[in-house]
């Protein structure tokens, strides 16, 4: 069975500091991994994905994520947080070997960046 966990409901950081939003996953095969962001009263917006290759993936708005197979993690990072990064962040996973299955989304982590 596929699953994804976001262990923190909320992450608080000061503007200019680095941020990390954590995600761990469980699949029987190899994963496709995704990060999405949701701003208030908006739909989810795709940020970045890991499919294969380089473990460090760069995405929109200066975000990046590192795939760690041994720790089954895909943490979202940004070197310097902006107040405008405050939003709800979702991690999602799909098992490459499970044809036809939908993405499994985590419960979301609220990121709050203070000025």
Partner 1 sequence: DAGVIQSPRHEVTEMGQEVTLRCKPISGHDYLFWYRQTMMRGLELLIYFNNNVPIDDSGMPEDRFSAKMPNASFSTLKIQPSEPRDSAVYFCASSLALAGGPHEQYFGPGTRLTVT
Tokens of 21: 């939003």
109-114 and 87-95 as β-strands: parallel, antiparallel, unpaired? antiparallel
Tokens of 50: 């890991």
Tokens of 73: 């993690």
Tokens of 95: 């098992």
Residue 108 sits in the site that holds partner 1 (CB under 8 A):
yes
Least Å distance between CB 101 and partner 1? 6
Residue 43 sits in the site that holds partner 1 (CB under 8 A):
yes
Piece in contact with partner 1 (CB under 8 A), picked from 10-18, 65-73, 74-82, 88-96: 88-96
Q: Which residues bind partner 1 (CB under 8 A)?
A: 32, 34, 36, 42-46, 49, 51, 90, 94, 96, 98-103, 105, 107-108
């Amino acid at each position: 069975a596929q699953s994804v966990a976001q262990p923190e409901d909320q992450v608080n950081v000061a503007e200019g500091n680095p941020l990390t939003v954590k995600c761990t996953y469980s699949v029987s095969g190899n994963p496709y991994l995704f990060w999405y962001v949701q701003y208030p009263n908006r739909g989810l917006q795709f940020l970045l994905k890991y499919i294969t290759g380089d473990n460090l993936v760069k995405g929109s708005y200066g975000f990046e994520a590192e795939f760690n197979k041994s720790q089954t993690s895909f943490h979202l990072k940004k070197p310097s947080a902006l107040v405008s990064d405050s939003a709800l962040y979702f991690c999602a996973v799909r098992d490459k070997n499970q044809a036809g299955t939908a993405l499994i989304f985590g419960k979301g982590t609220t990121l709050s960046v203070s000025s």
